[in-house]
Amino acid sequence: MENSYLSSAIKQFEYYKSLGDKTIAQLSFEELKHEFAEDSNSIAIIVKHIVGNMLSRLTNFLTEDGEKNWRHRDGEFEDTFQNKEELLNYWNRGWTCLFNAITPLTHTNLEHIIYIRNQGHTVTEAINRQLAHYAYHIGQLVFLGKLTKGKHWESLSIPKGQSTTYNTKKFSQEQGRRHFTDDL
């Protein structure tokens, strides 16, 4: 029980990263920069915001406030990427920061108090906060990617009309404890 929370949280973060990776992979640089409406966010802008948040929240996670004085959140909503490689490098930099911060944690860290804008959170609460925040934005990425690609979108979950086939496969396996992401 002591280690199940952290290993589950890490797997959830890995899952959401993979959804973002698979979305970005399906799109051209121009498609990543497309804004569907005036003053809406493109995938590129959402990526910039997610990573800005990761770098701020998770750099020196246990010892410094999660809202760093060097973070310029408003600038995260300005698209400055010059190419897809730059966007991917930034995306991966954020995830590296996240995994470097949470992978070494143990159950003894979970009740430690950290701060985000001077608001105290247990490490567990902070991880939950970030997991929900990133899931929210990665859902936006996936949705925008699906809108962009239309019928050419490669589904990242159970495709429409395939639930019965998917469930038949799942129920043909021996019952056992495993994480839902183990076979993705």
Of 159 and 106, the one with more pLDDT = 106
Q: How far apart are CA 108 and CA 87, in angstroms?
A: 36
Residue-wise pLDDT for 64-114, tens only, equals 999 999 999 999 999 999 999 999 999 999 999 999 999 999 999 999 999
Residue-wise pLDDT for 101-124, tens only, equals 999 999 999 999 999 999 999 999
> Which residue, 11, 20, 133, 141, is CA-closest to 66?
133
List, in order, residues 6 or more apart from 78 with CB less than 8 Å away. 45, 48
In the predicted structure, residue 176 carries a pLDDT above the cut 90: no
- Across all residues in the chain, what is the average pLDDT? 94
> Cβ distance 31 to 152 under 8 Å?
no
In the predicted structure, residue 1 carries a pLDDT above the cut 80: no
In the predicted structure, residue 181 carries a pLDDT above the cut 80: no
Complete domains list, the chain, with CATH: 4-157 (1.20.120.450)
Q: Write down the pTM of the prediction.
A: 0.93
> Which residue, 50, 66, 70, is CA-closest to 58?
66
Of 126 and 164, the one with more pLDDT = 126
